[in-house]
Chain A
Amino acid sequence: MTQIDPEQIKVILATDCGSTTTKAILIEYVDGEYRQTQRGEAPTTVERPFADVTMGVVNSVTEIGELAGRRLVGDDGRIISPATDTEGCDIYISTSSAGGGLQMMVAGVIAEMTAASAKRAALGAGSIVMDVIAANDGRRPHDQIQRIRDLRPDMILISGGTDGGTTDKVVQIAELVAPAKPQPRFGSDYEMPIIYAGNKEAREAISDVFDEGGFDLQIVDNLRPVLERENLSPARDKIHDIFLEHVMAQAPGYDKLMGWTGAPIMPTPGAVGDILQTVARLQGINVVGVDIGGATTDVFSVFNETFNRTVSANLGMSYSISNVCAEATMPNVLRWVPFDMDERELRNHVKNKMIRPTTIPQTKEALMFEQAVAREALRLAYKQHKEFATTLKGVQQQRTVGDTFSQQTGGMTIVDNMKLDLLVASGGVLSHAPRMHQTAMLLIDAFEPEGVTALAKDSIFMMPHLGVLASVHPKAAEQVFDRDCLVYLGTCVCAKGTPKPSKPCFKYQLSGDCNESGEIAGGDLKLIEMAPDARATIVITPARGIDLGEGPGKKIEKEVRGGTVGLILDGRGRPLALPEERAACQKTVQGWLDALDVYAEEKEPAAV
């Protein structure tokens, strides 16, 4: 890969090779700023009979070329680079999740400490973590070995012990992995990559354990050198290297594709994480991003510059829809539906969606049910994320007498909805909802943001492309992220506490592009239209016991932005409570849907 001066990059071509679709975008330097100008897509061609990922790439890029009037693919079938006035691009970059993405197994000594850190490193690098093996995971050694044998990961990350700490425990973990002889997913002649990122004192012993052959041992710095600190970058970088050198090299056509790109190919979720971190850092904000797919839901968060990612493996809207209903339970799903439905029929519908995952809701009732399932899938995925994104466990804390009544153990979640500035949605059920009001309502109901939070959606699932672009040209990535990637739905102002129904919850006063004042009662929702480019200052005076960011009953003043939906004032309280009695619940939910005009007739519906 040749070094390219960011200043010289004017035409950027990026693709994301997904399991089913390869999506390409073109970014050009127009009137002094970077803008996404064209997009194209084509079926991914990694599986037989094509078995060459570059065919799908060329097809999607050719589509862009035709739309842009710019020749991007040469007669030799390769992407033309560098760019001239009429053809080619200055840099071509790509991400990939084809073939099921990157699948890893991780191991550590203590489940809540080094194993949790190892899991964080693997997830942050964009992998799916198939299992976490730890000395204290409650399984007997031979059960652990059997499990390792049954899995077919692309690589294994082993951690354990702080530097200078225990060696025998981490070697013991390695001694479970080695005789299990785990088989890789691809290629019988492929040596299973093992990344060791544990106690540096144990490196020699670990090398001896994996000496026998069949393994490709790579040693990096300890990811938990001391209990108080994680050092995940060396392990993450090594995961990316192995992903490129081993995993991608096994996938059909990737060797060719790697020769075309101007930056290393990244796993798709890893790239999404990178762009969210870049934006959070450049704008100094806390961000949560969610990508809800057919099989899985990824949640990303950046709070005070600490990044976390979780993958809820079986929470999704098609392949995993039945699992969402089983985990959430049908009554919890149905509480979001304001009319009666036959439960037996619904259960069969859910299973039919599971076995025919590409179908779409034809009626409004079917759409409402599917969006009810989505609320539960998102709620459960966010709950899992909050439980995982914690301060480090096992850290000794100094306490004073004053802490006696507020003792907190290590491992408190760092996800704080009150400090959340931006919530970004992507994935079919959110991005393709017929009305953006539905997307906004789904986000608010599932994530329960508190205080003042901007809501946005990824317009055409561009975040992966921008993530890898951020590694070569952060400025271009940030500009496109803000101007073209995100569609701002608006801002929600949500009260925390338990407001009394129909009694004052908070007063508000808007000034700027929107001038309005009023009062929100407990249990009420109100929508104020504010155009996407509108900005206003809101002054909120909460009732006693109600918090909007400065503490219970304390006045706040903040800037809010408009969007395709507008400004949403939410007096329902947090945590959000729905009536238990079915008829009352239906009436309440119908009231909320009406207040936000969620299912009103749309003049120009979204295409599916």
Chain B
Amino acid sequence: MAKAYTPGLLVTQHKKHRCMRRLPIAGEVKVAKGDHVTADDVVAETALPGDVNPINLSNQLSLPPKDVIGCMLKKEGDPIAKDEPIAQTKGIFGMMKNTIKSRFEGTVETVSPVTGQVIIRGAPLPVQVRAYMGGTVVSVREHEGCEIEADVAYVQGIFGVGGETHGKIVLACDSHEQELTPDRITEDMQGMVIIGGARMTVAAIKRAQSVGAAAIISGGIDDQDLKQLLGYDLGVAITGRENLGITVIVTEGFGEIAMAERTFKMLRGHDGHETSVNGATQIRAGVMRPEIIIPLASVPTDQADHRFEEGQLEIGRTLRVIRDPWFGMIGEVTGLPTEPHVLGSGSKARVLEVKFPSGETAIVPRANVELIEE
């Protein structure tokens, strides 16, 4: 057998990309099928039920819960302002009344005769969903959202932090092997998606944050730099909701590692182009990787030669080793032995032979490689 399935990260000059834009709860979709949208356009909006705040009036009035309802100045469904009286005891002969003011603004939702607890629901929270990616609306789901399609160049990263954003691509490094340091980041990169080369330092990311860049992308990052950036040691790779003011994406992994040359060249080819990026990563069932989406004005005519099937490990394919002792090295498959091989660890596993550009060859477990998809 000369083929086996090994997934890899997608890096392509062109694909038809669709993205679903969905409201968290039912609402209004603002676009119609066929509409052209830009990344900033609002495509759907709704209002989430407001925050819920309980007030235990039984305690505050020193009354049994069942008596609270008789002291209410507001009934269920009534609006109430902050510091507005919500309940008052009858007092003694109309004197010595105890009045309780609401600590919250909202609507009285329930008054419980069992616990004497009143629930105040805050004002609805507006939620807007933006297009995120420029393109054409190809389908609309009533009250739910829409799907946008575009011809794009596409790069899948390996790991990221921070959510969706967009901006123009700007190159900060001259080659894929150059480290991204703060001196390479300038004030005019505000609102842009900065492309580096090899490892990016935490100082570079902080500099990008301070100039107001939308995103920063490079080959690698050091574990301790990430810890310093986040303020904690990331335990599991479920990200996207960090509030850093910048989206950070690494294309290859942790440590001193250069961006794949092909990825760097492709991004350089789109210097100045508008791009949408999302650092959200979820490495669990239903894996989600960060993405760099560059909508294309026209479909390239010189399409890549698709010699290989997607996901198929075949002789001649380019791959990246993703574990020591050859971590990060890119090479070409030269052999796919069928018999399991005894590894240095003592385990028996299926392997492949890989040849690196230096001419060196190695035997690597198939589990430890990643195809570079075109």
Of the candidates A323, A352, A367, the one whose C-beta lies within 8 Å of that of B254 is: A352
Are A356 and B158 in contact, CB atoms less than 8 angstroms apart?
yes
If A348-B255, A354-B283 touch, does A362 touch B115 (CB 8 Å cutoff)? no
Residues of B within 8 A of A366 (CB): 323-324, 345
Known A357-B283, A360-B347; contact A176-B54, beta-carbon cutoff 8 A: yes
B235 and A361: CB pair below 8 A?
A: no
Q: Assuming A168-B65, A355-B159, A606-B348, is B49 touching A181 (CB within 8 A)?
A: yes
Residue numbers in B under 8 Å from A167 (CB-CB): 114
Name which of A72-80, A299-307, A597-605 contacts chain B.
A597-605
Picked from B119, B340, B368, the residue with its CB within 8 Å of the CB of A362 is: B368
Known: A348-B223, A355-B283, A356-B253. Contact between A608 and B367, CB under 8 A? yes
Residues of A within 8 A of B115 (CB): 168, 171-172, 175
- Which residue of B51, B114, B346 contacts A168 across the interface (Cβ within 8 Å)? B114
In the assembled complex, B39 has its CB within 8 A of some CB on chain A: no
Cβ of A142 and Cβ of B52 under 8 Å apart?
yes
Nearest CB in chain B to that of A605: its residue: B348
Interface flags for B104-138 (1: CB within 8 Å of A; 0: not) read: 00000110101111010100000000000000000
Query: Between A and B, how many residue pairs show CB distances below 8 Å?
Result: 179
Taking CB atoms and an 8 Å cut-off, the chain A residues in 275-326 that contact chain B are 295, 314, 319-320, 322-323, 326
Closest to A202 in B: B114
Identify which of residues 362-393 in chain A touch chain B, using a CB-to-CB cut-off of 8 Å.
362-364, 366-367
The answer to whether A322 and B110 touch (CB under 8 A), given A352-B322, A355-B158, is no
- Are A319 and B283 in contact (CB-based, < 8 A)? yes
Which residues of chain B come closer than 8 Å to A601, judged between CB atoms?
346
Chain B 139-158 near chain A by CB (<8 Å), digits 1 or 0:
00000000000000000001
- Whether A347 contacts B285 in the complex (CB less than 8 A), given A322-B236, A605-B347, comes out as no
What residues of A have a CB within 8 angstroms of the CB of B340 in the complex? 607
- Do residues B236 and A354 form an inter-chain contact, with CB atoms below 8 A? yes
Contact A146 B51 (CB under 8 A): yes
Q: Which of A20, A100, A179, A607 contacts B110 (CB 8 A)?
A: A179
Residue of B nearest to A599 (CB): B346
- Expressed in whole angstroms, the minimum distance between the Cβ of A47 and any Cβ of chain B is 6
A430 to chain B, nearest CB (A): 13
Instruction: Return chain A residues, CB-CB under 8 Å to B364.
Output: 362
* Distance to closest chain A CB from B58 (angstroms): 8
Specify which of A205, A350, A351, A605 lies most central, judged by the most chain B CB atoms within 10 Å of its CB: A351
Assess A356 versus B347: contact at CB under 8 Å? Given A141-B54, A171-B112, A351-B254.
no
Does B361 sit within 8 A of A, measured CB to CB? no
- Determine the chain B residues whose CB is within 8 A of the CB of A314 once the complex forms: 235-236
A1 and B51 CA atoms in complex are apart in Å by: 46
Q: Is the CB of B325 within 8 A of A360?
A: no
B347 touches A361 (CB 8 A): yes
Q: Which of B52, B283, B346, B368 contacts A602 (CB 8 A)?
A: B346
A363 and B345 in contact, given A171-B112, A355-B159 (Cβ under 8 angstroms):
yes
Q: B54 — which chain A residues lie within 8 A by C-beta?
A: 141-142, 145, 175-176
The answer to whether the Cβ of B306 comes within 8 Å of any Cβ in the partner chain is no
> Interface size (A, Cβ < 8 Å)?
65
Judge whether B286 is part of the interface by a CB distance below 8 angstroms.
yes
Known A-B contacts A179-B121, A355-B253; the reply to A319 vs B236 at CB < 8 A is yes
The answer to whether B117 and A348 touch across the interface, beta carbons within 8 angstroms, is no
Given A99-B285, A205-B114, answer yes or no on A350-B368 (Cβ-Cβ < 8 Å). Answer: no
Q: Enumerate chain B residues within 8 angstroms of A188, measured Cβ to Cβ.
A: 26
B231 within 8 A of A: no
- Residue B210 is within 8 A (CB to CB) of chain A in the complex: no
Is B212 an interface residue when CB atoms closer than 8 A count as contact? no
Smallest Cβ-Cβ distance to A360: which chain B residue:
B367
Known contacts A326-B235, A344-B222, A351-B223; decide if A359 and B368 are in contact (CB<8 Å): yes
Q: Which residue of B lies closest to A148 (CB)?
A: B52
Q: By CB atoms of chain A within 10 A, which of B234, B281, B347, B367 has the most? A: B347
- Interface pair A608/B236, CB less than 8 Å apart: no
Q: Which residue of the partner chain, among B53, B226, B281, contacts A142 with CB atoms under 8 Å?
A: B53
Separation of A145 and B119 alpha carbons in the complex (Å): 11
Per the bound structure, the CA–CA distance linking A473 and B222 in Å amounts to: 54
Q: Any chain B CB within 8 A of the CB of A267?
A: no
Binary CB contact string for chain A from 568 to 598 against chain B (1 if under 8 A, 0 otherwise): 0000000000000000000000000000000
**In contact, A362 and B344 (Cβ under 8 angstroms):** yes
Which B-chain residue is minimally distant from A325 (CB atoms)?
A: B233
Q: A19 within 8 Å of B by Cβ?
A: yes
A172 to B283, CA, bound (A): 38
Docked pose: A353 CA to B340 CA in angstroms: 22
Q: Are A349 and B110 in contact (CB under 8 A)?
A: no
Q: How far is the CB of A180 from chain B (nearest CB, A)?
A: 6
Residues of chain A lying within 8 A (CB to CB) of residue B347: 360-361, 367, 432, 434, 605-608
A323 and chain B: residue at smallest CB distance: B235
Most chain B CB atoms below 10 A, which of A47, A99, A345: A345
Query: Is A434 in contact with B345, judged by CB distance below 8 angstroms?
Result: yes
Q: How far is the CA of A601 from the CA of B344 in the complex (A)?
A: 10
**Contact A322 to B285, CB < 8 A, known contacts A175-B112, A351-B254:** no
Complexed CA–CA distance, A146 and B52 (Å): 8
Which of chain A's residues have a CB closer than 8 A to the CB of B112? 171-172, 175, 209
**Which residues of B sit under 8 angstroms from A526, Cβ to Cβ?**
none
Tell whether A605 pairs with B51 under 8 Å between CB atoms, given A168-B114, A362-B364. Answer: no
Q: How far is the CA of A211 from the CA of B281 in the complex (A)?
A: 39
Best-surrounded residue of A141, A145, A181, A356 (most CB of chain B within 10 A): A356
Nearest chain A residue, comparing its CB with the CB of B112 = A175
Which chain B residues border A183 with CB–CB below 8 Å? 25
Contact A435 B235 (CB under 8 A): no
Q: B73 to chain A: closest CB distance in Å?
A: 20
Q: Contact at B365–A608, with CB atoms within 8 Å? A: yes
- B338 interface residue per 8 A CB criterion: no
Q: A349-B324, A364-B345 are in contact. List 16 more A-B contacts (CB 8 A).
A: A47-B286, A175-B112, A181-B49, A183-B25, A319-B237, A349-B327, A354-B237, A355-B253, A355-B254, A360-B345, A360-B368, A361-B323, A361-B347, A362-B368, A363-B343, A366-B324
Can you list 18 A-B pairs, Cβ within 8 angstroms, ordered by A?
A20-B285, A47-B285, A142-B51, A168-B116, A172-B117, A180-B52, A348-B253, A350-B223, A353-B323, A358-B367, A359-B323, A362-B343, A363-B325, A364-B346, A366-B323, A435-B346, A599-B346, A607-B340
Chain A residues close to B by CB (< 8 Å): 19-20, 47, 99-100, 141-142, 145-146, 149, 167-168, 171-172, 175-176, 179-181, 183, 188, 202, 205, 208-209, 295, 314, 319-320, 322-323, 326-327, 344-345, 347-364, 366-367, 432, 434-435, 599, 601-602, 605-608
Pairs of residues from A and B, 9 with the lowest C-beta to C-beta distance, nearest first: A323-B235, A434-B346, A348-B255, A367-B345, A351-B254, A608-B349, A359-B323, A347-B223, A348-B254
- Listed in ascending order, the chain B residues whose CB lies under 8 Å from chain A are 25-26, 49, 51-54, 65, 109-110, 112, 114-117, 119, 121, 158-159, 222-224, 226, 233-237, 253-255, 281, 283-286, 322-325, 327, 340, 342-349, 364-365, 367-368, 370
